[in-house]
Amino acid sequence: MSETKEIRTQERAASPATAASEEKKAALVPPVDIYENENGIVLLADMPGVSKDGLDIQVDKDVLTIKGAIAQQIPEDAKPLYVEFSGPGRYERAFTIGPDVDIDKIEASMKAGVVRLFLPKAEHSKPHKIEVKVA
């Protein structure tokens, strides 16, 4: 009986330390596709395991940061047999954006583990045709 108690306290003591080391471990880097059309930039990122609530998108000055926490339900008594996908349980990737992006109008959506961002261009930086006068 006393043995079980000891193990439990050890576990409890160990958990904050593991949480801290989890935090330190480099996050998974999601693969992205980036396209541009005349209205703005389209960014798609693969982040399986992230739901809408776990997604965190920030713009700080000219840096766009995409973060996502993996919320995967795994039974408590499950033991891994074979692992290809492993890591600290979160994704992070940042990009530098230019002054041509209207950061107030960035749109984000999430579907089946794929994040879709649309970074609209500010009105003044949209392409406009220049009329060439024939003299």
Partner 1 sequence: MLSPWLAVSDPAWSQLEELSREMQKLFGLYAPSGNIRGVVKGTFPPVNVAETPEKVIAYIYAPGIDPEKLELTMEKNLLTISAGRDTAAEVGENTDPAGYYRRERFSGTFKRVISLPESVDPSKTEATYQAGILTVSIAKKEEQRSRKIAVNIS
Residues within the interface to partner 1 (CB under 8 A):
31-37, 39, 42, 44-51, 71-72, 74-75, 77-86, 111-114
Please identify, using beta-carbon distances, which residue of 116 and 122 lies nearer to partner 1: 116
For 36, phi then psi, to 5°, come to -130, 135
Please identify, using beta-carbon distances, which residue of 61 and 79 lies nearer to partner 1: 79
CB of 84 to partner 1, least distance (A): 4
C-beta atoms surrounding 28 within 10 Å:
20
Q: Which of 79, 66, 61, 64 is nearest to 109 (CA)?
A: 66
C-beta atoms surrounding 13 within 10 Å:
9
CB of 24 to partner 1, least distance (A): 22
CB of 126 to partner 1, least distance (A): 13
DSSP annotation string for 38-63? TTEEEEEEE-TT--GGGEEEEEETTE
Please identify, using beta-carbon distances, which residue of 3 and 38 lies nearer to partner 1: 38
CB of 55 to partner 1, least distance (A): 10
Q: How far apart are CA 40 and CA 127, in angstroms?
A: 10
Please identify, using beta-carbon distances, which residue of 11 and 33 lies nearer to partner 1: 33
Structure-block tokens of residue 72:
């995967």
